Structure formats: structure tokens, C-alpha cells
Structure 1
Amino acid sequence: RIWLGGLSGVVYQTALEVMDGFSTEWGFSWGDFSANVAGSALLVGQELAWDDQRIKIKFSFHKNNYGDVQLNQRANDLYGKTLAQRLIKDYNAQTYWASANLKSFLPKSNLPAWLGMAVGYGAEGMYGARNNVAKDKEGNIAFDRSDLKRYRQWYFAPDIDLTKIKTNKKGIRFLLTVLSAFKFPTPSLEFSNGKFKVHALHF
């Protein structure tokens, strides 16, 4: 069960990376492939070591308004116009988290079983796979915003492990398990461009 779950994740994600490899806009990414393998390895390793998922990979998203006609058009072209398309494709609006359940590491403490702390990773200023320049089918430059900086964002925030909320209702327990794939909205501390920034509520 453990190995089947972990390896099936690698196979599925690798298939997506291979398809990206045939895309002229994107191409195969060794960074993405390595992250996929690391995510599956984290799941398998925790199951073998603790028979539990003490550290969970989570996801959060916010609808991004780029505040510029050209950038909004570029985002529509790249990431789609609907919320569902943006949820999957808009990397500027996504944050990926590693959320650790504190009680599982400190079982003798008085900490609530649902409390966690999370480290997040995101990016901003991405309007293309490797740079902010795009060409049309004839090879002419159709979009050039090389003036905009592409940068990484790191976050630190509290989290809630919904699977630790006790309930006897199977339907509610299933719903909480599904929702636990998403980072619970909380305040966060961002570090990017050499500066710290506080967010009152991070989605």
C-alpha cells in the first residue's frame, strides 16, 4: 500500500512532465521532476518511519489581479480566464506548504492536537516558462516584460490539521481529510527580495 501509493504519484507526475517536455512554451523541468520525487519520498519515508504523516504537503491559492491591462491579458493567455484554470495554472497565485503537526513531534506537551506550523514556497513575476518574453508563430516578439523581476517567496505560518478534529460522522471525517490538502488560511510572514512582510490572512 505504501509503495504503491508513493510510486503511483511519481508515475502520474512524471507523465505530466513528459507532456510539458513536448510543449514549445514550457519544456521538461528537472526541478519539477525532483520536487515530484521528493514529495512521494516524503510520504513513503514517513509511513515507514512513523506509520503516520506528521509533515503534510499542502496547497493554497488566491485569485490574482495583476493591475495592468497587458499583464492581465498575458495571464489570461497563459493561465486561463476561469477560476478553475487559474487554480491549476497560475503559479504567481499558488503557494506550496510543508505543514508539521506539532503534537505528533511533542506528544507529552499540552499543545492542541490540531495545531501545526507550516513553511511555504511561492513565486512572483512569472509570465513565461523561463523568462518574461514571448514570440508569435512567425518568431516576432509578441510580449516583452523583461523589466519585471521574477523572484521566490518564502512563508512561515501557523496551520490547522483538520484530520485531528475528532468526529464520529464518517462524512464529516472524509470531508476534513479532503480539505486537509489545502492550507488553512492564517496570518503569515513572508520573506522575499531580502525583506520581510506580514500578511493578515494568507490564502
Structure 2
Amino acid sequence: MAPIKSLVFLLLFLPVTFQGFAQAIDSTAADSSSVNRRKLYPVIVSEAAFYLAGMSYLQFIWYKDHERVPFHFYDDTKGYQQVDKFGHAFGAYVESYIGYKLLRNAGVPKGKALLYGGTLGLVLQTPIEVYDGLYEGWGFSVPDMVANAAGSAIVVGQELLFDEQVAKYKFSFSPSSYYSQANGYLGDSHLESLFLDYNAHTYWLSVPINKLALKKTVPDWASVAVGYSANGMFGEFENRRYYRGAYLPETERYRQYLLSLDIDWTRIKTDNKLLNAIFKGMFFIKLPFPALEVNSKGQVKGHWLYY
């Protein structure tokens, strides 16, 4: 399954992020031996409401025009040059990161926060995959489930190994040159292309330079990021040539591997509570920076700004 529904789910979930971080800026709560119920109950209620809203959206809106069929599987391992798998992992990572941080800021012990919050991405994404297996035109994807589990594992694994999120999993989007050539196949608006045009997606792992150098050489927030993207895609496994009465251009599908600079927003120190909340809520955003690209066509490119 392409991660369209996962991205919709994530956009619905983001208000919980900013509300939660705005209410839980004081990190000392995470070290408390007692649970702060005043912070915990709103988190539980908000996430439960989000979950019910998401399930209702899938059942009554997304699948309403699809016929229900016996449970079946769908192998999309090679789809979209695996960009969609990075998208699934990203969605699960963000949801797990949020769930874990909010529980810790409510004073929930680390072990329980990892169990109930760190696995939240996998918990939220699994019903989507099950629904896919029950409707015509979709199918339960084991590779998607693996990607979802990987996203949650990045959060849980780092907390167990390093007691922090050393590497942040980030996303950047820029409308691709293919969007204007697709006659609507990649979306009829830039907003739709956010969900349909995987040529425009880049996924990053961003690590503070000081963590790599093992000593303080630059500001703590200065980071380096490695990214993955792909281009030339007008279809999941192979390119379509015709759509809505028009021929689509012939393109070569290829992968992109990127190296760039970045900012770890969570490591920027400020006494302003509003800015602190905003920075914490921007943990998954990769800003445009110069980048070096190596692609599967054998090319090496430099970008003054890549996003």
C-alpha cells in the first residue's frame, strides 16, 4: 500500500504533537517518580479521540466506494523504488516519538512509556494494513508492516541504546518537475501531490555533528543528514504512458542518495516557552540546505539548496 492513508493519519495526528509539547515543555516532569495525571489524561483522551476519528475516516470515507472482499495479501516490495516504505517508517516513527515523549513528560516511567508510547506508530498503522487486506484494489502488505515496525523500532531502539533520540527521522517535500507533466496523475493540486507524487518526497536520518565527532566542535543543534529519494516515477512498479486522454512523457526511474546539513530543533536552547514548544514540534522537519547527490544513473550532483 502506498503511504497515502498513513500521511493522512499523520496530518490528523500532528495537532496532538503541538498541543502536547506546548503543555509539556518542562522536561523535569520526565524524571519525576510520580505520574502527573493532569498531563497524562489529556494525552490519553486526545490519542483515543484521534484513533477513533482515523478509524471512522477509513471505514466511512476512504473505503466507501470499494467492495469488501475476503482478506488477501499484496506484495508491493518493489513499488515506487521503496520510497513508500520510507514513508511508512516515517509515519510510524513520528507517531511513536510523539507518544513516547508525551508519556515521559507526564511522568510515566521509561519502560512503560516505551511500551505504550514507543510502539504507538505500529499500533496506529496496523489497522490500516488490515483494512487494506479486506477491500478490493488494496491488500495486506507484509513489507508495509515491516516498515511500520521499523519506524517504531528506531524510537524504541535509540532510547534503549542511547537514552535519547540521537538520529532524527525527517521528511522534506518539494513539488517535482514531473507534477506539471502528469496531466493530474500526480495530483490536481500541490496539496494532492503531497500524497500522490513520490518523486517529491525525501526521507532523512539527521545526526548532530558533535555526536559523530564524539566531542563538542560546533553548536549542539548543527547536524548532518543522509537522505533517500527517487525520481522518474509515473506509476507504482512501472510508468504509465496514458492518463486522462493524454500521453505521459517517457522517463527513467532512478534512485537518489543525498548528503546534506541540517538543524536539530530539539537541541536549540531558549527560555521562550512558545519558541521552545515550536522547536520541539518541528523535530521531523528537514530544512533546505546545500546537498550532494549520488544517483543510480551514475551521476554525482551538487545542489545549492535541496528540499
* Alignment partners' CA distance in 2, 1:142 and 1:14: 37
Residue of structure 2 equivalent to 1:74: 185
* Alignment partners' CA distance in 2, 1:163 and 1:68: 36
* CA shift in 2, pair 1:145/1:65, >3 Å: closer
Q: CA deviation at 1:35?
A: 2.3
- 1:38 maps to a residue whose letter is A
Name which of 90, 109, 128 aligns with 1:16: 128
User: Which deviations, in whole Å up to 9, do the C-alpha atoms of 1:93-149 show, x marking residues without a partner?
Assistant: 01000111122344533221011111101111222222223899xxxx978769432
Tell me, yes or no, if structure 1 residue 115 matches structure 2 residue 222.
yes
Deviates more, 1:98-107 or 1:169-178: 98-107
What secondary structure does 1:175 align onto? helix
* Alignment partners' CA distance in 1, 2:189 and 2:248: 24
Name which of 178, 199, 202 aligns with 1:95: 202
CA contact (8 A) 2:179 2:186 kept: no
Q: Structure 1-normalised TM-score?
A: 0.82
Residue of structure 1 equivalent to 2:15: none
Tell me, yes or no, if structure 1 residue 198 matches structure 2 residue 305.
no
CA contact (8 A) 1:126 1:150 kept: yes
Tell me, yes or no, if structure 1 residue 126 matches structure 2 residue 233.
yes
Identity %: 40
* Alignment partners' CA distance in 2, 1:126 and 1:17: 23
CA contact (8 A) 1:134 1:142 kept: no
* Alignment partners' CA distance in 2, 1:86 and 1:186: 22
- 2:171 maps to a residue whose letter is F
Q: Give 1 or 2: higher strand fraction.
A: 1
- Segments of structure 1 that go 5 or more residues without pairing to the other structure are none
What secondary structure does 2:144 align onto? helix
Tell me, yes or no, if structure 1 residue 33 matches structure 2 residue 33.
no
CA contact (8 A) 2:129 2:140 kept: yes
Name which of 257, 260, 264 aligns with 1:157: 260
